[in-house]
Homo-oligomer: A and B are copies of this chain.
Amino acid sequence: MTNTSTNRSGAAAHTVGLDIGGTKILGALLDAGGGLVATTRLATELGPEGVVRSAARATRDVVAAAGLDLSAVGGIGLGIPGIVDAAAGTVKHAVNLGVRDELPLAERLSAALGGVPVVVENDLNVAAVGAAHVLEREGAQAASCHDDLTVSDGGAGAVLAPGVPASAYHEDLAFLALGTGVASGLVMDGRLRRGVSGAAGEIGHVPVDPAGPECSCGQRGCIETFVSGTALATAWPSRHGKPSPVELFEAADAGNADAIRVRKRFADAVAAAVRMLVLTVDVHYVVLGGGVAQLGRPLLDVVRDSLREQAEVSPFLASLGLPERVTLAPSDVPVAAVGAAVLGRRDERAELPAKVDGAAPAPALAGTKTRGR
């Protein structure tokens, strides 16, 4: 993803990315080389007008934070939890934002900002693009700087092919969001995969146990019934005012047998999601993100333990080096906002992922990818 955007005078330009959530907007400003220059964070105003207004304000804020003005910006990318039609630049059913009907968000924000080109994307897709961008730039050095960014930890060498520079793999990953729900964004060989109906990455609704609990989607034993924040809050309700995943891990660490069992089932299901992603598309990294991933290193440890346990019974799985492919989303960078800015760098519609990926709007997937984070 090395395309650069140009501003209206034709010079290489900065781009802005916004990660628009139900309570806050995170903003990022990238320079022409893709370097992170400034970030911002402000409260989201709800409703169509509110979303446009606060997105415009976030854009101006992050540009001003870098001592620049809007003329330096060649493109804006937005990540938003709703049903996005990337080709049309619209969003609908963004329930947490108070947006129900189709909102021509790209057009409205562009008009509010003097005509800067705006692209709109699903929030998980921008997170995947952002994670790829950060991994690409930080590369193998990251592990030495960030304890929780474990690119070289454990040896990506297990799956690196001889003669291929490590950098070639950084734009090949699944961003696995463990949030209220569970879903994934996919970047393969540097290209965002939306799928022909915008449903790529909806792995939360793949059943893995016919005897499992009923899922909100109508099926039984979906990955989401074991892995999501909702599932954890049901299995281990918060009792001491901390988030349920935190209390669960603390209780398990303290030796509570029930907590150990619940945590194990959770870790095994995350491991199942990782295994499924790798066996289906063989991505180089699976990056754990979303609210539950704020657990950080302890989450990574239990998931890797489960993957190692799986590999013990299967030489085939062992050959794939799954524990080494899993990593945590960087916690010191607003990955989704960065990913949105990367997409905003593509100043030509033609530079969006090609025909099929770019042209197909998402169908009405009630309660799915929009809940992933």
Residues of A in contact with B (beta carbons under 8 Å apart): 159, 161-164, 168-169, 171-172, 184, 186, 188-191, 193-203, 205-211, 217-219, 272, 275-284, 310, 313-317, 319-321, 353-357, 359-361, 363-368
- By a CB distance below 8 angstroms, the chain B residues around A277 are 280
How many angstroms from the CA of A161 to the CA of B193 in the assembled complex? 16
- By a CB distance below 8 angstroms, the chain B residues around A278 are 199
- By a CB distance below 8 angstroms, the chain B residues around A313 are 218-219
- By a CB distance below 8 angstroms, the chain B residues around A208 are 207-208, 210
- By a CB distance below 8 angstroms, the chain B residues around A206 are 275-276, 279-280
- By a CB distance below 8 angstroms, the chain B residues around A283 are 195-196
Q: Is the CB of B207 within 8 A of A360?
A: no
How many angstroms from the CA of A199 to the CA of B320 in the assembled complex? 8
Q: Is the CB of A159 within 8 A of B363?
A: yes
Q: Which residue of B lies closest to A167 (CB)?
A: B355
Q: Is the CB of B169 within 8 A of A365?
A: no
- By a CB distance below 8 angstroms, the chain B residues around A317 are 205, 217-219
How many angstroms from the CA of A195 to the CA of B279 in the assembled complex? 9
How many angstroms from the CA of A258 to the CA of B317 in the assembled complex? 34
Identify which of B205, B280, B316 contacts A281 (C-beta below 8 A): B280
A205 to nearest B CB, angstroms?
6
Q: Which residue of B lies closest to A196 (CB)?
A: B284
How many angstroms from the CA of A364 to the CA of B191 in the assembled complex? 27
A365-B316 in contact given A163-B359, A219-B310 (Cβ < 8 Å): yes
20 more A-B residue pairs beyond the given contacts A169-B356, A202-B282, A205-B314, with a C-beta to C-beta distance below 8 A: A161-B197, A161-B359, A161-B360, A163-B359, A168-B355, A189-B356, A193-B282, A195-B281, A195-B282, A195-B283, A205-B317, A208-B208, A208-B210, A209-B209, A217-B315, A218-B314, A276-B280, A315-B366, A316-B368, A319-B364
Identify which of B163, B315, B367 contacts A316 (C-beta below 8 A): B367
A353-B209 in contact given A281-B195, A282-B197 (Cβ < 8 Å): no
How many angstroms from the CA of A302 to the CA of B335 in the assembled complex? 44
- By a CB distance below 8 angstroms, the chain B residues around A164 are 355-356, 359-360
Q: Is the CB of B319 within 8 A of A189?
A: no
A159-B219 in contact given A206-B276, A208-B208, A366-B315 (Cβ < 8 Å): no
- By a CB distance below 8 angstroms, the chain B residues around A365 are 316, 319-320
How many angstroms from the CA of A206 to the CA of B278 in the assembled complex? 10
Q: Is the CB of A159 within 8 A of B197?
A: yes
